[in-house]
Amino acid sequence: MRPSRSSLQKPDGVIRARRSFPVVLAVALLTVVPHGPTVAASGAAAAPRIPESASSPSPREQPAMAYDPVHQQVVLYGGYADLGTYSDTWTWDGATWTEQHPATSPGPREGAAMVWDDARHQIVMFGGGQDHDTWTWDGSNWTRLAPLTSPPDRSNAGIAYDAVRQEVVLFAGCCPFSGRYNDTWTWDGSAWTQQHPATVPSKRSSMGMTYDAARSQTVMFGGVGSSFGARGDTWTWDGSNWTKLSPPTSPAARRDTALVYDEAMGESMLFGGLLASGAVDGDTWTWDGSSWTQRFPATSPPARLQHGMAYDAARQEVVLFGGQVNGNASGDTWTWDGTTWTDRTPPVTTPVPRVGPGFAYDATRKNSVLFGGTIGGDGFDDTWIWDGSTWIQQHPASTPPGRYGGSMAYDRRNADVVLFGGSAFDGGAVYYDTWTWDGSNWTERTPSTVPPERLYEALAFDGARNEMVMFGGAYYLSEEGYFYRNDTWVWNGTTWLQRLPAHSPSERSEAAVAYDAATRQVVLFGGGKLSGMNDTWTWNGIDWTQQSPANTPPKSLGARMVYDPSRRVVVLFVADGTTWAWDGTNWSKLHLGGSPPPRRDAGMAYDVARRGVVLFGGQGTTAPLGDTWILFGSTWHMVP
């Protein structure tokens, strides 16, 4: 049972906070552009956040998708989650997603327009985010083209390939600075040409658009207008003009939907989207050139918006990936064969990319334990162990609520891993609960005394005093915003006790901390509020002492630190991607072979059994990361 709190407490034992905090704490390396709406499906309660497979693209919204008939695979590019915009390329062969590693890449973007150009035998991608560039994909690499004239910057435009006229058609979309468009452009492989039809649909973006090969015309449905109202109209483009149709039945007005042409069935298929009412739908509709027909399959993907879809001609099925489900980015894969939806999400093999997971080495079980984290939206509630070569997902009978920014450390005296606090990010709930992991299950503890709620606090086991030491963290107070702590607490395995040292580091969160067995002191480095610091402090069980080393790492938020017994130094990984060592009196920069990319708020632990530092995930320069690195000797090694 969780202890009682202040008047801000909700019945579930958490403190409610706004959802903006991770943008402050975990995304300083990013420029985050506001995206589409965050909504929950009509009538659906927010479910625990369980991430999808890491053998497929990470959960995301607004990916660009198109089918490549030459290589018989669906291509996916980019998209975004709350904590970043992606720049990765993936292909789907009907059974497996494979990440591609082209020599050249268009860079991070979401809501790009992408289609197969059959006359030129290549995929064409335009815009996305604040871009107006044109790229082609030949199956192995991206090439940026340089047409003399281009449509203005835009995202969420409609795009289709007109097979009769052998040109790509681009319509409307949304510009970051100039509102929505209703212009029509065509691409002939070397130049964009603006068309000037006599009749034009109203300004919009986020519509469904595809080429209807049976009727030799492009069909468009829905979208969102300049007044943010969802559209429910159907239009066709014949190569020179737009025509508004009046079918007897139509899907409800919506935005952020997807529409593709099903060659095998000879009809276009539309799925999901955000309705004018604000509800999210998971309905399936088909268009035969004159009428819309709702389909009622026995199984359907969860309701969603901002998903990607493409028709896989080799397998004669529509492929759907990702989107926003229950307010969170999704990473599931579904196929539609004309009558039935099938969940094709690959099995989970490794943790998906994430920021702010709890991570600690379990010396009793000789493996590293990972819990939670986020890519934005709700925090994950999955548990994984790393055995030195493989990630293995655990399925405990009980588990803490999903969260990010919780702290974890191994309690040597009680032979279990301790988890404290963090934020659910489901409405910004900040926790003050204590959980322990015994290698097979999580147990919520009910101490008589509990520290106040917090996230991104510093937690380490003090081997000299046989107790857990916790310092600082961030918290939220009413509507006044986020505040920071500089209190010190210890956990003795039964309850929390507050220490009142004469000296203390200033208020902060995202500090790095580790127990230095060589000096028998806890070492704390950096952290801060909105910007990082680079001060070094030590804890002797009674008081904090600020150190004055001759050299010091750069100011940092979200650095990670562990003690390396083979070197008898504390190893620090800083957000800029550099690695440092603390010898008890001074910092020295390590010049190692290989290096993980810059990141903050990763998981890091020292694997005693394998004698190496393990680093996982964190917030990269553009998006959350999901890579695993091990520092053996003088070299960082990335785990394949």
User: pLDDT tens for residues 528-584?
Assistant: 999 999 999 999 999 999 999 999 999 999 999 999 999 999 999 999 999 999 999
pLDDT digit string, tens, across residues 77-116: 999 988 789 999 999 999 999 999 999 999 999 999 999 9
Q: Is it the case that residue 33 has pLDDT exceeding 80?
A: no
Chain position carrying tokens 């493989």: 390
Q: How confident is the model at residue 262 (pLDDT cuts 50, 70, 90)?
A: very high
Is the separation of the CB atoms in 86 and 622 below 8 Å? yes
Asked if residue 48 belongs to a domain, the reply is no
The SS3 of residue 25 is helix
Same domain, 189 and 322: yes
Same domain, 598 and 569: yes
Q: What percent of the chain has pLDDT over 90?
A: 83
Same domain, 274 and 402: no
Q: Is it the case that residue 50 has pLDDT exceeding 50?
A: no
Same domain, 333 and 438: no
Close Cβ partners of 627 (under 8 Å, ≥ 6 residues apart): 596, 597, 616, 617, 638, 639
pLDDT digit string, tens, across residues 125-157: 999 988 899 999 999 999 999 999 999 999 999
Q: Which domain holds residue 88?
A: 27-39+60-343
Same domain, 366 and 314: no
Q: Is it the case that residue 35 has pLDDT exceeding 60?
A: no
Q: Encode burial over 186-200: b for 16+ CB neighbours within 10 A, e otherwise.
A: bbeeeebeebeeeeb
Same domain, 423 and 326: no
**CB-side exposure of 629: number of CA atoms within 13 Å?**
26
Is the separation of the CB atoms in 355 and 617 below 8 Å? yes
- Alpha carbon distance 166, 106 (integer Å): 25
Least confident residue range of 16-20, 170-174, 185-189, 368-372: 16-20
What pLDDT does 415 receive?
97
Asked if residue 13 belongs to a domain, the reply is no
Q: How confident is the model at residue 480 (pLDDT cuts 50, 70, 90)?
A: low
What pLDDT does 20 receive?
38
Same domain, 307 and 412: no
Long-range contacts of 575-578 (CB under 8 A, 24+ apart): 575/29, 575/532, 575/599, 575/600, 578/553, 578/554
- Alpha carbon distance 319, 333 (integer Å): 7
The enclosing domain of 31 has a CATH number of 2.120.10.80
* CA dihedral sign, ordered 456, 457, 461, 462: positive
Q: How confident is the model at residue 18 (pLDDT cuts 50, 70, 90)?
A: very low
Asked if residue 242 belongs to a domain, the reply is yes
Q: Domain total for the chain?
A: 2
Q: How confident is the model at residue 52 (pLDDT cuts 50, 70, 90)?
A: very low
Is the separation of the CB atoms in 15 and 300 below 8 Å? no
User: DSSP class of residue 455?
Assistant: B
Q: Is it the case that residue 612 has pLDDT exceeding 70?
A: yes
* 343, 366, 399 - which closes a domain: 343
Is the separation of the CB atoms in 282 and 301 below 8 Å? yes
- Alpha carbon distance 622, 31 (integer Å): 8
Q: Is the pTM of this model over 0.85?
A: no
* 343, 378, 403 - which closes a domain: 343
Query: How do beta strands 358-362 and 341-343 pair?
Result: unpaired
Same domain, 377 and 308: no
Instruction: Please choose, from the candidates 552, 560, 564, the residue with its C-alpha nearest in 3D space to the C-alpha of residue 598.
Output: 560
Per the prediction, the chain carries an average pLDDT of 90
What pLDDT does 41 receive?
38
What would the mean pLDDT of 378-393 be, rounded to a whole number? 94
User: DSSP class of residue 402?
Assistant: P
* 318, 343, 368 - which closes a domain: 343
- Alpha carbon distance 451, 485 (integer Å): 11
What pLDDT does 420 receive?
98
- Alpha carbon distance 458, 510 (integer Å): 7
Asked if residue 320 belongs to a domain, the reply is yes
Asked if residue 349 belongs to a domain, the reply is no
Same domain, 304 and 373: no
What would the mean pLDDT of 156-185 be, rounded to a whole number? 93
Close Cβ partners of 196 (under 8 Å, ≥ 6 residues apart): 184
Same domain, 459 and 492: yes
Identify the residue with better confidence: 426 or 461: 461
Asked if residue 166 belongs to a domain, the reply is yes
Q: Is it the case that residue 196 has pLDDT exceeding 90?
A: yes
Distances (CA, A) of 620 to 90, 307, 362, 512, 623: 19, 24, 26, 17, 5
**CB-side exposure of 588: number of CA atoms within 13 Å?**
8
Least confident residue range of 166-180, 296-310, 475-489, 502-516: 475-489
Asked if residue 511 belongs to a domain, the reply is yes
The SS3 of residue 525 is strand
pLDDT digit string, tens, across residues 324-367: 999 889 999 999 999 999 999 988 789 999 999 999 999 999 99
Q: How confident is the model at residue 15 (pLDDT cuts 50, 70, 90)?
A: very low
190: phi then psi, degrees, rounded to nearest 5 = -140, -20
Q: Is it the case that residue 39 has pLDDT exceeding 70?
A: no
Same domain, 256 and 329: yes
Q: Is it the case that residue 17 has pLDDT exceeding 60?
A: no
The SS3 of residue 21 is helix
Q: Is it the case that residue 10 has pLDDT exceeding 50?
A: no
Chain position carrying tokens 């489901």: 426
Three-state secondary structure readout of 108-154: CCCCCEEEEECCCCEEEEEEECCEEEEEEECCCCEEEECCCCCCCCC
Same domain, 561 and 431: yes
Joined together, the tokens standing for residue 473 give 């963290």
Strand-pairing partners, residue 405, are: none
What would the mean pLDDT of 598-622 be, rounded to a whole number? 96
What would the mean pLDDT of 493-504 be, rounded to a whole number? 98
Asked if residue 6 belongs to a domain, the reply is no
State the CB neighbour count (10 A cutoff) for residue 58: 25
Q: How confident is the model at residue 479 (pLDDT cuts 50, 70, 90)?
A: low
Q: Is it the case that residue 476 has pLDDT exceeding 90?
A: no
